[in-house]
Amino acid sequence: MGCTAEDVVAAVRAAAAVIADHRDELVRLDQAIGDADHGENMKRGFTAVVSRLDAEPPDTPAKVLKLVATTLISTVGGAAGPLYGTAFLRASAAVGDATELDQAVVARALRAALDGVIARGKAAVGDKTMVDALTPAVAAAECAEGTVAATLSAAADAAEEGASSTVPMVARKGRASYLGERSANHMDPGSRSTALLLRAFADAAAKS
Ligand code: ADP
Ligand code: MG
C-alpha cells in the first residue's frame, strides 16, 4: 500500500514531535561548533508547520511537502532554513501529482531533496554538513526494495551512520568552518537533525 496525503501529514507531525523532543540535543551540538540555535530554529519551524497543517491539511502528498518547505523557509532562519526548505520543495516537485507515494517515488523525492541541498549549499560529502547524512540515506533508499517503510528505515539507518561519520571531520562549510580544526570531535547538528527527520518518517510509515 502506498502513502497517501494523510500518511504524509502524519509523518510530518511525527517529525515535528521528534524535533521538539530533541531540541536540547540539537542546541548542544550547535553550541559546540556553531551558535547554539539549530534546535530552537528547527523546533520553531516544525511548530509552525503543525499549526498550518491543523488549519488546513493539504490534500495531496506534494502539497503537504510544499507547505513544509514554504513554512520552514519563512520560519527556521539560519543556514538550515533555506536548505531544508529547498529540500522539501524539490521533494514536492519530484512527487508531482502522485496521490500515493510508493518506494520508487520516495527514493526519487529523497534524491531530489539532496540535489536541492547541494545546489543551494555547495557542500560535498566530507564537509561536515547535513549532506553527510542525506547522501548515504539517498543511496540506501535507492537500493532498498519493498515497502515505503522499509525504504525510509534503510535511509534512516544510513543517515544515522552518516551523522556519526561527521564527528571526526573538520568543517568546510557553514558556521562550523570558522573553527577550523577545532570543529573536529563533534557531530554536525544538521546531520543529526536530518537523521532524526528520516527516522521519524520511517517510524510513521511503519505505523501507516
Ligand atoms: P546557522 O549555521 O546559520 O546557525 P543552523 O544552526 O540552523 O544555521 O544550521 C546549521 C547546519 O546547517 C549545520 O550543522 C550544517 O549541517 C548545515 N549547513 C550549513 N551550511 C551548509 C551548507 N553550505 N550545505 C549544507 N548544509 C549546511
Ligand atoms: Mg546555528
Instruction: Read off the pLDDT of residues 137-157 as tens digits, 9 standing for 90 and up.
Output: 999 999 998 899 999 999 999
Judge whether residue 78 has pLDDT over 70: yes
Q: Looking at the chain, how many residues does it have?
A: 208
Q: What is the mean pLDDT of residues 91-113?
A: 97
Taking CA atoms only, the protein residue closest to ligand 1 atom 14 is: 190
34 alpha carbon – ligand 1 mean position (Å) = 9
Instruction: Give the per-residue pLDDT at 126.
Output: 98
Instruction: Give the per-residue pLDDT at 208.
Output: 85
Q: Is residue 115 very low, low, confident or very high in pLDDT (cuts 50, 70, 90)?
A: very high
For 178, counting Cβ atoms within 10 Å of its Cβ (0-12 exposed, 13-18 middle, 19+ buried), the class is exposed
Q: Which of 173, 186, 188, 191 to mutate to test the pocket of ligand 1 (most atoms within 8 A of CB)?
A: 173
Instruction: Give the per-residue pLDDT at 94.
Output: 98
Q: What is the mean pLDDT of residues 167-190?
A: 98
Q: How far apart are CA 152 and CA 106, in angstroms?
A: 8
Radius of gyration of the chain (CA): 16
- Cell 568546510, located at residue: 172
Q: Which of 76, 122, 130 to mutate to test the pocket of ligand 1 (most atoms within 8 A of CB)?
A: 130
Taking CA atoms only, the protein residue closest to ligand 1 atom 9 is: 80
Tally Cβ neighbours within 10 Å of residue 151.
27
63 alpha carbon – ligand 1 mean position (Å) = 25
Q: Is the pTM value of this prediction over 0.85?
A: yes
Q: Is residue 1 very low, low, confident or very high in pLDDT (cuts 50, 70, 90)?
A: low
The CATH number of 5-207 is 1.25.40.340
Domain positions in the chain are 5-207
Q: What is the mean pLDDT of residues 19-39?
A: 98
